[in-house]
């Protein structure tokens, strides 16, 4: 643990995404990365583990239980804490003694496998209450607090580990929308035992910034500092991107205002190298946090994984590539500058064949070639993790390049541009692009309907 953080501060990685859970081998690699980066907690809660969420009442079979035991042993041998999360919220009845017994049976099996730290996830569920629960408690927060308190107090006879809960409204926007009911957080903070940690993602599910003043207000409401579930690098909601930028938008003083910070990262395990590296840098930093410097250091440490069977790739091209998959709210500076320069060249009224424009095209082609060369990576797991998203980037760059070649070819003057490799329906085809064309998003977050290319229904 970083010397300036208290020993009870949780820092680590959440396996809590929607998508295929990581393999045992990937988890072992993760734990080694975590030790290297000074982290202390591995959180197991992938939504697509059926026993974690869909069939939470059913104990593991022999094979599943062996995997849990191996994870416990793997973490313990490295000095890491393993938190096991269960998500009963989709169909639990808080007043039902059968459901209360079911969670005790589940946790008993896990404790016998060596688990000592637990979390109950009540996120991503409807906030409707069953009549029996409403009649008994009057609010969702009160029902959940009573249920979690009972499970926690029962568990104390067998384990003294940490106990965590993720509330139904877990970000500022959900609270503002009264998800979970009026006064949810105030009720939860008042009625949930103070030893139990409460997760929070910030103002949004994916928060660009985590500022101290809102955290201080939340601490007063919850009657304890929150535990940050940080979705900065999560990509299970976006099939087109991953995020390998630095840990950013979080002041160093945040570490002293919360009970811990856990990252919920990219679904594709190999793409989390730089985020975990940078997060470790952040935790170790005493002052003067430089996110970009941390990113560059992490990228250099990641660079050996990009060894190929042919001629070596260029590190400068890796920087541009990683900047193209930086953070949810921004591209890195190299990719951002390239996109701006390409847009300027395409939007100019003249033919883009002057030296400055051709230099932009050359930079663009270097990125396209880097994407194409990833097929030669000796680290096949890394290549497979990148493949689909990189393919899309490469195709867009290729289309722009073909348009560029058409524009500067005097024999094509007056002819419309077409590409034999980007045909209607087979390129950018399917139902999703059709649906995406119907509502136009605006920077402030609102949408307007689009009819025949004209936005309708808005005031702006």
What domain range includes position 452? 430-460
Q: Do residues 223 and 328 both lie within one domain?
A: no
Q: Do residues 273 and 185 both lie within one domain?
A: yes
- What are the distances in angstroms from CA 97 to CA 59, 60, 132, 163, 350? 17, 21, 12, 21, 75
Whole-number Å distance between alpha carbons of 352 and 283: 47
Which residue, of 289, 305, 339, is where some domain finishes? 289
Domain of residue 109, CATH code:
3.20.20.80
Does residue 309 fall inside a structural domain? no
> What does the pLDDT look like over 17-35, one tens digit per residue?
988 899 999 999 999 999 9
> What does the pLDDT look like over 85-100, one tens digit per residue?
999 999 999 999 999 9
pLDDT of residue 215: 98
Q: Is the pLDDT of residue 460 over 60?
A: no
Q: Which two tokens stand for residue 138?
A: 């009057």
Does residue 310 fall inside a structural domain? no
Question: Active site includes 124?
Answer: yes
The whole-number average pLDDT for the span 381-406 is: 95
Which has the higher per-residue pLDDT, 455 or 56?
56
Q: Which residues contact 409 (CB under 8 A, 6 or more apart)?
A: none
Length of the chain: 460
Does residue 296 fall inside a structural domain? no
Domain of residue 353, CATH code:
1.20.58.240
Q: Which two tokens stand for residue 104?
A: 């005790």
> What does the pLDDT look like over 278-335, one tens digit per residue?
999 999 999 889 999 999 999 999 999 999 999 999 999 999 999 999 999 999 999 9
Q: Which residues of 211-248 are buried (b: 16+ CB within 10 A; e: fewer)?
A: beeebeebbebbebbbbbbbbbbbbbeeeebbbbbbbb
Does residue 3 fall inside a structural domain? no
Q: Do residues 244 and 136 both lie within one domain?
A: yes
Q: Is the pLDDT of residue 388 over 70?
A: yes
Confidence of residue 3 (pLDDT cuts 50, 70, 90): very low
Does residue 178 fall inside a structural domain? yes
pLDDT of residue 414: 87
Share of the chain above pLDDT 90, in %: 87
Q: Do residues 405 and 457 both lie within one domain?
A: no
Q: Do residues 447 and 368 both lie within one domain?
A: no
Q: Do residues 243 and 389 both lie within one domain?
A: no
Q: Do residues 251 and 374 both lie within one domain?
A: no
| Mean pLDDT value across the chain | 94
Among candidates 262, 251, 209, 287, which has minimal Cα distance to 4?
287
Confidence of residue 452 (pLDDT cuts 50, 70, 90): low
pLDDT of residue 458: 52
Q: Do residues 181 and 38 both lie within one domain?
A: yes
Q: Is the pLDDT of residue 71 over 50?
A: yes
Q: Do residues 185 and 38 both lie within one domain?
A: yes
Q: Do residues 28 and 165 both lie within one domain?
A: yes
Does residue 268 fall inside a structural domain? yes
Does residue 195 fall inside a structural domain? yes
Confidence of residue 453 (pLDDT cuts 50, 70, 90): low
Q: Do residues 109 and 247 both lie within one domain?
A: yes
Q: Considering 70, 124, 211, 336, which one is annotated as catalytic?
A: 124
Share of the chain above pLDDT 70, in %: 97
Whole-number Å distance between alpha carbons of 299 and 294: 8
Q: Which two tokens stand for residue 436?
A: 């995406």
Rounded to the nearest 10 degrees, what angle do helices 62-77 and 24-36 cross at?
20
Q: Is the pLDDT of residue 1 over 50?
A: no
Contact 93, 123 (CB under 8 A): no
Q: Is the pLDDT of residue 459 over 90?
A: no
Q: Do residues 238 and 336 both lie within one domain?
A: no
The whole-number average pLDDT for the span 73-93 is: 96
- Name the domain count of the chain: 3
Which has the higher per-residue pLDDT, 2 or 320?
320
> What does the pLDDT look like over 192-238, one tens digit per residue?
999 999 999 999 999 999 999 999 999 999 999 999 999 999 999 99
pLDDT of residue 175: 97
Which has the higher per-residue pLDDT, 336 or 349?
336
Does residue 303 fall inside a structural domain? no
The DSSP-derived string for 55-107 is TTTSPP-HHHHHHHHHHHHHHHHTT-EEEEEE--TTT--TT-HHHHHHHHHHH
């Amino acid at each position: 643990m970083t010397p300036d953080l208290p020993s009870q501060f949780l820092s680590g990685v959440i396996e809590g995404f929607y998508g295929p859970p990581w393999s045992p081998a990937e988890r072992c690699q993760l734990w080694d990365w975590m030790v290297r980066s000074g982290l202390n907690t591995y959180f197991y809660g992938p939504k697509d583990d059926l026993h974690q969420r869909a069939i939470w009442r059913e104990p593991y079979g022999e094979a599943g239980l062996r995997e849990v035991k191996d994870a416990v042993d793997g973490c313990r041998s490295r000095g890491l804490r393993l938190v096991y999360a269960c998500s009963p919220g989709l169909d639990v009845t808080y007043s039902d003694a059968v459901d209360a017994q079911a969670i005790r049976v589940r946790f008993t099996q896990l404790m016998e496998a060596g688990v000592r730290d637990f979390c109950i996830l009540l996120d991503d569920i409807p906030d409707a209450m069953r009549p029996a629960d409403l009649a008994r408690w009057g609010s969702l927060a009160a029902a959940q607090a009573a249920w979690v308190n009972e499970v926690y107090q029962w568990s104390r006879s067998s384990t003294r580990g940490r106990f965590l809960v993720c509330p139904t409204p877990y970000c500022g926007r959900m609270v503002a929308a009264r998800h979970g009911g009026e006064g949810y957080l105030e009720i939860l903070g008042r009625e949930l035992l103070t030893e139990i940690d409460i997760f929070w993602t910030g103002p949004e599910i994916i928060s660009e910034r985590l500022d101290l003043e809102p955290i201080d207000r939340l601490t007063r409401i919850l009657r304890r500092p929150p535990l940050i579930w940080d979705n900065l690098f999560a990509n299970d909601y976006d099939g087109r991107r991953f995020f390998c930028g630095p840990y950013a938008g979080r002041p160093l003083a945040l570490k002293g205002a919360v009970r811990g910070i856990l990252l919920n990262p990219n679904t594709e395990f190999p793409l989390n190298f730089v985020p975990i590296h940078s997060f470790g840098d952040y935790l170790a930093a005493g002052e003067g946090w430089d996110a970009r410097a941390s990113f560059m250091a992490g990228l250099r440490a990641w660079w050996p994984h990009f060894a190929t069977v042919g001629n070596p790739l260029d590190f400068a091209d890796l920087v541009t590539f990683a900047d193209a998959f930086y953070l949810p709210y921004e591209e890195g500076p190299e990719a951002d500058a390239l996109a701006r320069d390409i847009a300027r060249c395409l939007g100019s009224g003249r033919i883009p064949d002057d030296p400055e424009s051709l230099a932009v095209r050359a930079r663009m082609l270097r990125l396209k070639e880097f994407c194409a060369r990833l097929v030669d990576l000796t680290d096949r797991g890394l290549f497979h993790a990148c493949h689909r998203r990189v393919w899309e980037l490469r195709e867009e760059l290729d289309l722009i390049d073909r348009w560029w070649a058409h524009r500067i070819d005097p024999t094509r003057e007056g002819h419309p541009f077409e590409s034999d490799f980007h045909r209607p329906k087979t390129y950018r085809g399917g139902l999703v692009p059709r649906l995406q064309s119907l509502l136009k998003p605006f920077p402030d977050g609102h949408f307007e309907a689009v009819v025949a290319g004209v936005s309708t229904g808005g005031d702006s």
